[in-house]
Each structure stands twice: as C-alpha cells, then as structure tokens.
Structure 1
C-alpha cells in the first residue's frame, strides 16, 4: 500500500511540474473555473432576491451549501476528471492496454494521466464562499471540533462523487460507447446543491438512495446550519454521509475491478 502511495505521489508531483511549465494557460484556465463559480453565485443571488428564501432556507445558508458543493466537485475535477475519457480514449481506442501493463492500480493510472490543477481554484472559491457565509451568521457554532467535522464531511462528499462516477464510468466495460454514461449523470449533480424539499418525492429518492448526489452538498452542509424547524431531523442524513461514502466507494471499486477483469483489447 505504501509503495502504491509513494508512486502515486511521484506521479502527482510530475504532473504538477508539467502543468506549471505553461503558467499562462494555467492562469487562464483557473480564471475560467473561477468565472463559472461566480456565475453560480450570481444565479443563486437572483433566485433568493425574488423569493427571500427557498423551502425555508435563507440566502446565507444557501450560499454556504453552494460553497460546500464547490469544494468536493473541484477536487473531483482536479484529480479524477479523466474518468470522462475512459470509454472513448481508453477502451474504444485500446489505450487501456498500456494501463494493464503497469504495476499500479488501473483507477489511479487513469486518473493520474490528467490532473487538472486549474480546477483547484474552484475549491478555493468554495472555501471563500463558506467563510463569507459564516461571517454573515449562516453557522451558529463554528468551533475547532466543528471545523474538523466539516473537513470530514467534505472528504466524504468527495469520495461519494468519485464513487458515483467511478461506478458509471466502469459501465463502459460492458457497454462501450464514445460518450458513455458519465456526462448525462453529471447533470444530476445540480440537484444536490438545493434543499431536497423543493423536489418531488421521486427525485428525492433518486438523489438520496439511487444516485446520492444530495450527500455531496445539501445533507452534509445542512449539519452546520440551523435551517427551517421542519428539517430538525435532517442531521441524521448529514451524519450518514461518511457511511454512504464507504458503501458506494466499496461498490464502485468492486464493479471497477470486475469490469477490468472482463476487458478485452480492441485487437481481439
């Protein structure tokens, strides 16, 4: 395990050095990622300015949830965004063959082929947004233990994002298609940024049980917010976030390994 971690770290450092050779491009791409986040913030402010609150959640609380969502998603795009290319680049074009020849976990190899450092700017923006929301009174108790809990929730949310897309990317081992299932599923993540009460029960079931995008932002972030009185029981969902991450990550790893086992080269 330690050998794998040391090699993974070496690969990560190498990728960082390679990307820093083109600092101009890196800065422009980082600004593009920041602009996307700013647009999301502006849209949220537009919604709140018209309704004052959404399902009982105020502007500062919704801003905290949005900032929370930005962090795990940015980390996913940075370290695991190459999963989008699994079907078209690796499986259909046969580039997965060289992955199998290396003495490293296939998932780590696929992800480390492209590390998008510029997406880390989105994580920094998310942290800044959460800090601003806290300064505006969105969070009543933000002690050191709560900060540690926040880090745990962000890590758990990141693992859930990775698990979901690892699972759907692995479906390409059975159903080869240049687009794959990852892009359509990606659009569902937007549902996780908003209070689940605004959705029909079928959508709530979808993003809570089947594809747990509600655990990426709303449920874990709500643990730190007072929220409407009708949501007093919601901390159960929030505290379940690490467990959901563990369950889905275990399923995703098992499906990925099963898919790798049935992979056949394009020449066969």
Structure 2
C-alpha cells in the first residue's frame, strides 16, 4: 500500500514566535518526506523533537510577517503494531482535559450493558456514531466529551473524545490519534480513537468517514491537547489558509465490524 500525503499552511505572524508543528507522519522509517518552512522567500531552520508517545514535532522560530509551511510524504507498507507500555495502562485510563471519563462514568456503565473487551469497544464506537450528528463548525475548540454528549453533535475530534471518555470510564485504556485519512471528504486532518484490548491498540472511528486501513498516524495523545497540528509560543499568529491531501493507490473498504490497527 502506498499513501501520498501533503499539508500546506499559510500563516500571518504578528511578531516573534516559535511554531510547533505536528504534521509529519509518525513512522519516519517508511516515509520519503520533505518539510519546508519559509518566510519572505527565505527557508527557515526546522528542528525535530520526538515526544514520549512517539509523535514527531518540528519547531521553527519566525518573526513578524507571512509564513508558509509545506509538508509532503510518501508512505509505503504498514507499520509494526503500536507498542504497549506499563504507563499506557495508567495514563490512558485517567480523565483528561477533553475526555472527562469521571463525569461520564454513569452514562458509560448504563450504555455498556455488561459488555467488555472488544465487544465493548465495538459497541461504544457504534453507539457514538449513531448518537452524534457530524456537523462542521458545530463545536468549539474548548468543548470536551461531556459537552459533546449533551449537544449530540460535533466533528471528528468530538466523536473521538466521546469514544475515549466512555471507554476509559469502563477501564479500557483509550487515546486520541491524529491521522492523514485517504478517502476523507471534505479532506482535512482527521482524528480517531485507539483502544487497548488484549495487549494491542485497535482503531475506532465513530464517524466512519474514511477507511481505517489506509490511515497514516501523525500524533498520539490523551486528547486533542496533545495532538494539535499547530502550537504557537510568543506573539499571536493567524492561520490564513490550510490545505490537506491524502491519497492511496487502492482505497480499501472498511467493515466497521472488523478490528483494525492503525498504520
């Protein structure tokens, strides 16, 4: 399987700032890639960091003016299964900023109906997909899973947050992953959940908007606070435009009843 992905950001910096970008694919070994940041026609120095969850972050210092970010990658084959650590069994069971599993515990217990393991994971993914309406622009950046449950609408990150919170409430470690998603329409960065069952991480996409088999991992974390594609430190910065593309040589079909690992 070959995936070709790109992302392009046009930014306006009001003064000196540091950009923290999370647009590069996580598995560098299988990617042919290029990341370029320019300002006033000059290419800027970009430094790479890797966080404890395996996410590749790129930092760059800019001054006042227009900034352009361009990333492209060709990814071939499939990654090894995501590793499992002892910390995963603690960190991804705790409530987090956007996944208030403690608040949603009574709801999760009632909805679980005695289910456990992969049966529970499948049921919660289907339940969230049925209960929520996907409406672009319907949620605020500060909304968490509890607010999503109350309003019953949102975008991909809201669907993923509710899945994660409900599973954690039932003692299933769960986390959020940002991905490039061939087949997604409209095209954008996409967010899905991962659940840890029987020693393996399984992808859950309650939106069912793109096949999980061809998704490419970008960032992994407790919730959207850990997976933002852009963070700025310093003076304010405006996102003027953004374009994301993701294609695959042969788009697979995705049976929601099957359990799939992310690439």
TM-score range, shorter chain: under 0.3
* More helix as a share of residues: 1
Normalization by structure 1: what TM-score? 0.25
